[in-house]
Amino acid sequence: MTPLEALQAALAGEHAAVYCYGVIGARTSASAHPDLYDAMLHGFQRHRRRRDQLTAMIVRRGAEPVAAEVSYEVPGPLRNVPELNNAALQLERRIARTFGQLVESTAGAERRWALVALDDAAVRQVEFRGTPEMFPGSSSSIISEDGP
Amino acid sequence: MLATGCAVNNPFSDEKTPAAEAVRELAPDVAVAVEAVTRIEVAAAAVAATTEAHPALATRLAGLTGLHDAHLTAVRDAVPDRVDVSPATPPAPVPPKPAVALARLVAAERTLHGQLTALALRAESGPFARLLGSMAAGVSQQLASPRLGVPA
Protein backbone atom coordinates (compact mmCIF):
# COMPACT_ATOMS: atom_id res chain seq x y z
CA MET A 1 0.00 0.00 0.00
CA THR A 2 1.41 3.41 -0.90
CA PRO A 3 1.55 6.15 1.76
CA LEU A 4 -1.27 8.02 0.02
CA GLU A 5 -3.44 4.90 -0.17
CA ALA A 6 -2.86 4.27 3.54
CA LEU A 7 -3.72 7.88 4.38
CA GLN A 8 -6.92 7.61 2.33
CA ALA A 9 -7.81 4.33 4.06
CA ALA A 10 -7.26 5.95 7.45
CA LEU A 11 -9.43 8.91 6.44
CA ALA A 12 -12.17 6.54 5.27
CA GLY A 13 -11.91 4.80 8.66
CA GLU A 14 -12.24 8.12 10.46
CA HIS A 15 -15.30 9.10 8.40
CA ALA A 16 -16.87 5.83 9.58
CA ALA A 17 -15.78 6.37 13.19
CA VAL A 18 -17.21 9.89 13.33
CA TYR A 19 -20.55 8.65 11.94
CA CYS A 20 -20.70 5.62 14.25
CA TYR A 21 -19.75 7.57 17.37
CA GLY A 22 -22.58 9.97 16.53
CA VAL A 23 -25.05 7.08 16.41
CA ILE A 24 -23.69 5.31 19.49
CA GLY A 25 -23.47 8.56 21.46
CA ALA A 26 -27.08 9.37 20.62
CA ARG A 27 -28.10 6.07 22.24
CA THR A 28 -26.10 6.83 25.42
CA SER A 29 -27.86 8.54 28.30
CA ALA A 30 -25.93 11.52 29.67
CA SER A 31 -27.92 11.42 32.92
CA ALA A 32 -27.95 7.64 33.55
CA HIS A 33 -24.40 6.92 32.39
CA PRO A 34 -22.42 10.19 32.47
CA ASP A 35 -18.98 8.51 32.30
CA LEU A 36 -19.90 6.49 29.23
CA TYR A 37 -21.52 9.54 27.64
CA ASP A 38 -18.34 11.55 28.23
CA ALA A 39 -16.25 8.75 26.69
CA MET A 40 -18.51 8.70 23.63
CA LEU A 41 -18.44 12.48 23.31
CA HIS A 42 -14.65 12.57 23.58
CA GLY A 43 -14.43 9.71 21.09
CA PHE A 44 -16.55 11.65 18.62
CA GLN A 45 -14.48 14.81 19.09
CA ARG A 46 -11.18 12.94 18.85
CA HIS A 47 -12.07 11.16 15.65
CA ARG A 48 -13.45 14.33 14.09
CA ARG A 49 -10.11 16.02 14.86
CA ARG A 50 -8.18 13.11 13.36
CA ARG A 51 -10.42 13.15 10.27
CA ASP A 52 -9.58 16.82 9.75
CA GLN A 53 -5.85 16.22 10.29
CA LEU A 54 -5.84 13.36 7.78
CA THR A 55 -7.73 15.51 5.29
CA ALA A 56 -5.05 18.19 5.61
CA MET A 57 -2.25 15.61 5.23
CA ILE A 58 -3.80 14.30 2.00
CA VAL A 59 -4.33 17.80 0.63
CA ARG A 60 -0.68 18.61 1.39
CA ARG A 61 0.22 15.67 -0.86
CA GLY A 62 -1.79 17.31 -3.66
CA ALA A 63 -4.52 14.64 -3.64
CA GLU A 64 -8.28 14.73 -3.27
CA PRO A 65 -9.34 13.41 0.17
CA VAL A 66 -11.76 10.50 0.02
CA ALA A 67 -15.33 11.62 0.76
CA ALA A 68 -17.57 10.21 3.48
CA GLU A 69 -20.24 7.68 2.64
CA VAL A 70 -23.89 8.56 3.21
CA SER A 71 -24.07 6.11 6.10
CA TYR A 72 -22.13 3.28 7.75
CA GLU A 73 -23.03 0.05 9.48
CA VAL A 74 -22.65 0.45 13.23
CA PRO A 75 -20.98 -2.60 14.82
CA GLY A 76 -23.50 -4.63 16.80
CA PRO A 77 -26.79 -3.83 18.52
CA LEU A 78 -27.05 -0.78 20.81
CA ARG A 79 -29.71 -1.83 23.34
CA ASN A 80 -27.81 -1.52 26.63
CA VAL A 81 -24.57 -0.32 28.21
CA PRO A 82 -22.51 -3.46 27.46
CA GLU A 83 -23.57 -3.32 23.80
CA LEU A 84 -22.76 0.40 23.60
CA ASN A 85 -19.34 -0.29 25.11
CA ASN A 86 -18.79 -3.17 22.73
CA ALA A 87 -19.72 -1.11 19.67
CA ALA A 88 -17.20 1.58 20.63
CA LEU A 89 -14.61 -1.11 21.36
CA GLN A 90 -15.08 -2.65 17.91
CA LEU A 91 -14.73 0.78 16.32
CA GLU A 92 -11.46 1.44 18.15
CA ARG A 93 -10.12 -2.00 17.22
CA ARG A 94 -10.88 -1.40 13.54
CA ILE A 95 -9.33 2.04 13.51
CA ALA A 96 -6.25 0.77 15.41
CA ARG A 97 -5.64 -1.74 12.60
CA THR A 98 -6.05 1.07 10.06
CA PHE A 99 -3.48 3.14 11.93
CA GLY A 100 -1.22 0.09 12.11
CA GLN A 101 -1.36 -0.08 8.32
CA LEU A 102 -0.58 3.64 8.21
CA VAL A 103 2.51 3.11 10.41
CA GLU A 104 3.59 0.33 8.03
CA SER A 105 3.11 2.40 4.87
CA THR A 106 4.58 5.74 5.92
CA ALA A 107 7.78 7.23 7.33
CA GLY A 108 8.89 10.36 9.16
CA ALA A 109 6.25 12.80 10.38
CA GLU A 110 3.34 10.81 8.96
CA ARG A 111 4.52 7.63 10.71
CA ARG A 112 4.96 9.60 13.94
CA TRP A 113 1.36 10.83 13.65
CA ALA A 114 0.16 7.28 12.97
CA LEU A 115 2.04 5.92 16.00
CA VAL A 116 0.35 8.47 18.29
CA ALA A 117 -3.07 7.67 16.78
CA LEU A 118 -2.47 3.90 17.09
CA ASP A 119 -1.44 4.29 20.71
CA ASP A 120 -4.51 6.36 21.53
CA ALA A 121 -6.89 3.91 19.84
CA ALA A 122 -5.29 1.08 21.83
CA VAL A 123 -5.82 2.90 25.13
CA ARG A 124 -9.45 3.69 24.22
CA GLN A 125 -10.07 -0.04 23.75
CA VAL A 126 -9.27 -0.54 27.42
CA GLU A 127 -11.52 2.40 28.29
CA PHE A 128 -14.36 0.56 26.54
CA ARG A 129 -13.65 -2.58 28.59
CA GLY A 130 -11.49 -4.30 26.04
CA THR A 131 -8.92 -6.83 27.22
CA PRO A 132 -5.33 -5.69 26.62
CA GLU A 133 -3.81 -7.25 23.51
CA MET A 134 -0.26 -8.33 22.86
CA PHE A 135 -0.07 -6.50 19.51
CA PRO A 136 -2.87 -3.92 19.19
CA GLY A 137 -3.15 -2.54 15.69
CA SER A 138 -1.38 -5.46 14.07
CA SER A 139 -3.16 -7.61 11.53
CA SER A 140 -3.31 -10.35 14.20
CA SER A 141 -4.16 -8.06 17.11
CA ILE A 142 -7.19 -10.05 18.24
CA ILE A 143 -4.78 -12.23 20.22
CA SER A 144 -5.19 -10.95 23.76
CA GLU A 145 -3.58 -11.81 27.06
CA ASP A 146 -6.52 -14.13 27.65
CA GLY A 147 -5.77 -16.02 24.43
CA PRO A 148 -7.23 -15.76 20.91
CA MET B 1 48.88 -13.18 16.97
CA LEU B 2 45.72 -12.44 18.84
CA ALA B 3 42.96 -11.05 16.66
CA THR B 4 40.67 -8.73 18.53
CA GLY B 5 37.46 -7.01 17.53
CA CYS B 6 33.77 -7.55 17.27
CA ALA B 7 32.76 -11.18 16.94
CA VAL B 8 29.28 -10.52 15.63
CA ASN B 9 30.22 -11.04 11.98
CA ASN B 10 32.95 -13.61 12.59
CA PRO B 11 31.71 -17.13 11.84
CA PHE B 12 34.82 -18.64 13.50
CA SER B 13 34.17 -17.05 16.88
CA ASP B 14 31.93 -18.34 19.66
CA GLU B 15 32.28 -15.12 21.62
CA LYS B 16 29.17 -13.13 22.31
CA THR B 17 29.33 -9.42 21.54
CA PRO B 18 27.54 -7.00 23.87
CA ALA B 19 24.51 -5.46 22.15
CA ALA B 20 25.83 -1.92 22.56
CA GLU B 21 28.90 -2.82 20.47
CA ALA B 22 27.16 -5.11 18.03
CA VAL B 23 24.62 -2.55 16.78
CA ARG B 24 27.43 -0.54 15.12
CA GLU B 25 28.15 -3.39 12.71
CA LEU B 26 24.68 -4.67 11.96
CA ALA B 27 22.19 -3.84 9.21
CA PRO B 28 19.94 -0.97 10.36
CA ASP B 29 16.82 -3.02 11.10
CA VAL B 30 18.81 -5.81 12.75
CA ALA B 31 20.34 -3.15 15.00
CA VAL B 32 16.81 -1.89 15.76
CA ALA B 33 15.76 -5.45 16.67
CA VAL B 34 18.79 -5.84 18.96
CA GLU B 35 17.97 -2.57 20.70
CA ALA B 36 14.31 -3.57 21.08
CA VAL B 37 15.18 -6.92 22.62
CA THR B 38 17.72 -5.28 24.94
CA ARG B 39 15.17 -2.70 26.16
CA ILE B 40 12.44 -5.31 26.66
CA GLU B 41 14.85 -7.60 28.53
CA VAL B 42 15.61 -4.76 30.94
CA ALA B 43 11.90 -4.10 31.52
CA ALA B 44 11.15 -7.81 31.90
CA ALA B 45 13.94 -8.19 34.46
CA ALA B 46 12.52 -5.29 36.46
CA VAL B 47 9.05 -6.86 36.46
CA ALA B 48 10.49 -10.22 37.52
CA ALA B 49 12.50 -8.64 40.35
CA THR B 50 9.46 -6.69 41.57
CA THR B 51 7.26 -9.79 41.45
CA GLU B 52 9.84 -11.73 43.43
CA ALA B 53 10.17 -8.99 46.05
CA HIS B 54 6.42 -8.40 46.30
CA PRO B 55 4.50 -11.62 45.54
CA ALA B 56 1.25 -9.82 46.37
CA LEU B 57 1.73 -7.79 43.16
CA ALA B 58 2.08 -10.90 40.98
CA THR B 59 -1.50 -10.91 39.73
CA ARG B 60 -1.39 -7.22 38.85
CA LEU B 61 1.92 -7.65 37.04
CA ALA B 62 0.98 -10.83 35.16
CA GLY B 63 -0.18 -8.85 32.12
CA LEU B 64 3.19 -7.10 31.81
CA THR B 65 5.05 -10.40 32.18
CA GLY B 66 2.99 -12.00 29.41
CA LEU B 67 3.36 -8.94 27.20
CA HIS B 68 7.14 -8.88 27.48
CA ASP B 69 7.36 -12.61 26.80
CA ALA B 70 5.21 -12.28 23.67
CA HIS B 71 7.21 -9.29 22.44
CA LEU B 72 10.55 -11.01 23.02
CA THR B 73 9.32 -14.05 21.12
CA ALA B 74 8.29 -11.84 18.21
CA VAL B 75 11.61 -10.01 17.89
CA ARG B 76 14.28 -12.34 19.25
CA ASP B 77 14.59 -14.37 16.05
CA ALA B 78 15.88 -11.26 14.25
CA VAL B 79 18.83 -10.99 16.65
CA PRO B 80 22.05 -12.74 15.53
CA ASP B 81 23.11 -15.59 17.82
CA ARG B 82 26.41 -13.94 18.66
CA VAL B 83 24.85 -10.80 20.14
CA ASP B 84 24.50 -10.73 23.91
CA VAL B 85 21.18 -9.01 24.68
CA SER B 86 21.16 -9.69 28.41
CA PRO B 87 20.94 -6.51 30.52
CA ALA B 88 24.37 -4.91 30.92
CA THR B 89 23.65 -4.10 34.56
CA PRO B 90 21.53 -5.95 37.12
CA PRO B 91 18.10 -4.46 37.90
CA ALA B 92 18.08 -1.71 40.51
CA PRO B 93 17.08 -2.87 44.01
CA VAL B 94 13.30 -3.12 44.38
CA PRO B 95 11.87 -0.56 46.84
CA PRO B 96 10.54 -2.22 50.00
CA LYS B 97 7.15 -0.50 49.79
CA PRO B 98 4.91 -2.15 47.15
CA ALA B 99 3.36 1.15 46.06
CA VAL B 100 6.78 2.69 45.46
CA ALA B 101 7.96 -0.44 43.66
CA LEU B 102 4.89 -0.34 41.42
CA ALA B 103 5.37 3.36 40.68
CA ARG B 104 8.98 2.72 39.68
CA LEU B 105 7.89 -0.11 37.40
CA VAL B 106 5.26 2.08 35.75
CA ALA B 107 7.91 4.72 35.09
CA ALA B 108 10.15 2.03 33.55
CA GLU B 109 7.29 0.85 31.31
CA ARG B 110 6.68 4.43 30.17
CA THR B 111 10.35 4.62 29.27
CA LEU B 112 10.06 1.35 27.35
CA HIS B 113 7.03 2.72 25.51
CA GLY B 114 9.03 5.75 24.39
CA GLN B 115 11.95 3.57 23.32
CA LEU B 116 9.75 1.25 21.25
CA THR B 117 8.06 4.22 19.60
CA ALA B 118 11.45 5.74 18.73
CA LEU B 119 12.58 2.40 17.29
CA ALA B 120 9.38 2.18 15.22
CA LEU B 121 10.27 5.55 13.73
CA ARG B 122 13.80 4.34 12.93
CA ALA B 123 12.80 1.03 11.36
CA GLU B 124 13.31 0.92 7.60
CA SER B 125 10.91 -1.98 7.06
CA GLY B 126 7.24 -0.95 7.21
CA PRO B 127 5.97 -4.23 8.70
CA PHE B 128 8.71 -4.11 11.34
CA ALA B 129 7.76 -0.51 12.20
CA ARG B 130 4.15 -1.65 12.59
CA LEU B 131 5.21 -4.49 14.87
CA LEU B 132 7.22 -2.14 17.08
CA GLY B 133 4.40 0.43 17.10
CA SER B 134 1.91 -2.23 18.14
CA MET B 135 4.28 -3.36 20.89
CA ALA B 136 4.44 0.21 22.20
CA ALA B 137 0.63 0.39 22.05
CA GLY B 138 0.49 -2.90 23.97
CA VAL B 139 2.53 -1.31 26.75
CA SER B 140 0.10 1.62 26.83
CA GLN B 141 -2.84 -0.77 27.12
CA GLN B 142 -1.23 -2.52 30.07
CA LEU B 143 -0.62 0.82 31.81
CA ALA B 144 -4.29 1.75 31.25
CA SER B 145 -5.58 -1.65 32.33
CA PRO B 146 -7.70 -1.79 35.52
CA ARG B 147 -5.89 -5.02 36.36
CA LEU B 148 -2.63 -3.11 36.87
CA GLY B 149 -4.57 -0.50 38.83
CA VAL B 150 -2.48 2.55 38.00
CA PRO B 151 -4.41 5.84 38.36
CA ALA B 152 -4.77 7.66 35.02
**Per-residue pLDDT reduced to its tens digit, A48-81:** 999 999 999 999 999 999 999 999 999 989 999 9
Q: Per residue in A106-121, pLDDT tens?
A: 999 999 999 999 999 9
Report which of B74, B81, B37, B57 is spatially closest to residue B148, judged by C-alpha positions. B57
Q: Which amino acid is at A2?
A: T
What secondary structure letter does DSSP report for B77?
A: T
The yes or no reply on domain A3-127 and CATH 2.60.40.3140 is: no
pTM: 0.89
Is B134 within 8 Å of A127 when comparing Cβ atoms?
no
How many whole angstroms separate alpha carbon B67 and alpha carbon B144? 14
| ipTM of predicted assembly, 2 dp | 0.91
| Maximum Cα–Cα distance across chain B | 61
Q: Per residue in A12-55, pLDDT tens?
A: 999 999 999 999 999 999 999 999 999 999 999 999 999 999 99
Q: Per residue in B54-80, pLDDT tens?
A: 999 999 999 999 999 999 999 998 888
Is A96 in contact with A132 (CB distance < 8 Å)? no
Instruction: Supply the mean pLDDT for chain B.
Output: 88
pLDDT at A3: 97
Q: Which of A104, A112, A124, A142 to mutate to test the interface with B (most CBs of B within 10 A)?
A: A104
Quote the minimal CA–CA distance from B15 to chain A in Å: 33
How many whole angstroms separate alpha carbon A46 and alpha carbon B26? 41
A52 touches B at CB < 8 Å: no
pLDDT above 70 for B6: no
User: Three-state SS for B70?
Assistant: helix
Quote the minimal CA–CA distance from B125 to chain A in Å: 8
Report which of B114, B138, B128 is spatially closest to residue B66, judged by C-alpha positions. B138
The nearest alpha carbon in chain A to B118 belongs to A112
Is A114 within 8 Å of B133 when comparing Cβ atoms?
yes
pLDDT above 60 for A146: no
How many whole angstroms separate alpha carbon A119 and alpha carbon A102? 13
Q: Which amino acid is at A126?
A: V
Residue B7's pLDDT band, with cuts at 50, 70 and 90, is low
User: For A128, phi and psi rounded to 5 degrees?
Assistant: -95, 35
Is A43 in contact with A124 (CB distance < 8 Å)? yes
What secondary structure letter does DSSP report for B97?
A: S
> Domain spans of chain A?
3-127
Please list the alpha-helical segments (H only) found in A61-107. Answer: 81-105
A88 touches B at CB < 8 Å: no
